[in-house]
Amino acid sequence: MAMLRWVTLALILFSVVSLCKSEAEAEAETEAEGGEAVLTLDANNFAEALSSHPFIVVEFYAPWCGHCKRLAPEYEKAAASLKNHDPPIVLAKVDANEETNKALASEYDVKGFPTLKIIRKGGASVQDYKGPREADGIVKYLKKQAGPASVEIKSSEEATSLIGDKKVFIVGVFSTFEGEEYTNFTTVTETLRSDYDFGHTSDATIIPLKDSPINPPFIRLFKPFDELYSDSQDFNVDSLEKFVEEASTPLIAVLTKDPDSHAHVIKFFNSPDAKDTRF
């Protein structure tokens, strides 16, 4: 009987040790996977990484940078999550403090740390990352950036949900999704996608604020300030970019505690035509 108790106790202790070991090994594997989620790039493998991944986000960092250290664990978490996205969204990092990488950092106009760049199509498109710096926000922002630059709006419910009343949103209305006007619109959406939200539709009746006729092709820029929307039918690429930039800048800046208004206020103060500020 005593022997049986000792055997039972030994089996229990063995099970506990095995369980602890399994948990420790699993935790180590998870940490290893998390550490490997962000690709480490340098001047030697950078071009190859860009050619292998049509959509990649690159953080240029310096080991001594406090902001970089705070971003690192959030960046790792986001990278681990985005690996499972279809298609995968790749996050990478480059030590811009290394002498061999300084020319690369200069090429990408890195002037401070951390600097994050969204690079598409092997480097044909390079845009600044302007999203959040915490894991969940990074994931949400990049999933949107990896999708289409403009979302097709098919119902008034979708229009209301997408446009909202706290941000700038640009809608293109077209009889058909082809032709010069639509092509130019898509060109502008790709260029400005990191700064603005875009949608397009073939049904003018679902667009809000339709107090005046909308005859396609047509652009309506919604905004939570001034006259609430601006319209244009000039589809020249340069003219359309200028229209978006000018129409999205407030004529009057209203300073409030609402964080959604901060981007509009910042844009107002960055404008050379800033004249009126109200508290």
- Alpha helices (H) along 38-126: 46-52, 66-82, 102-107
225, 195, 206: which is closest to 159 by C-alpha? Answer: 206
Are residues 45 and 142 both part of a single domain? Answer: yes
Query: Of these residues, 53, 68, 200, 264, which one is catalytic?
Result: 68
Are residues 44 and 136 both part of a single domain? Answer: yes
Query: Of these residues, 20, 35, 53, 66, which one is catalytic?
Result: 66
Domain that holds residue 181: 151-248
Q: Do residues 207 and 237 lie in contact, with contact meaning Cβ atoms separated by under 8 Å?
A: no
pLDDT in tens, the chain (279 residues): 444 344 334 433 334 334 333 333 333 343 444 457 999 999 999 999 999 999 999 999 999 999 999 999 999 999 999 998 988 899 999 999 999 999 999 999 999 999 999 999 999 999 999 999 999 999 999 999 999 999 999 999 999 999 988 899 999 999 999 999 999 999 999 999 999 999 999 999 898 876 666 789 999 999 998 889 999 999 999 999 999 999 999 987 776 666 655 565 566 666 666 555 555
186, 174, 66: which is closest to 114 by C-alpha? Answer: 66
67 belongs to the catalytic site: yes
Strand partners, 90: 56
What the block records as the tokens of 205 is 């009746």
Are residues 165 and 135 both part of a single domain? Answer: no
Q: Does residue 215 sit within a domain?
A: yes
Q: Does residue 166 sit within a domain?
A: yes
* C-alpha distances out from residue 116 to 45, 75, 105, 108, 119, Å: 18, 11, 11, 10, 10
Are residues 58 and 137 both part of a single domain? Answer: yes
Give the CATH number for residue 97.
3.40.30.10
Q: Does residue 96 sit within a domain?
A: yes
Of 84, 117, 146, the residue at which a domain comes to its end is 146
65 belongs to the catalytic site: yes
Query: Of these residues, 65, 85, 122, 123, which one is catalytic?
Result: 65
89, 82, 96, 76: which is closest to 32 by C-alpha? Answer: 76
Are residues 163 and 124 both part of a single domain? Answer: no
66 belongs to the catalytic site: yes
Query: Of these residues, 20, 67, 179, 262, which one is catalytic?
Result: 67
Are residues 136 and 208 both part of a single domain? Answer: no
Q: Does residue 276 sit within a domain?
A: no
Cα dihedral 153→159→165→168 (10° resolution): 20
Q: Does residue 33 sit within a domain?
A: no
Number of domains in the chain: 2
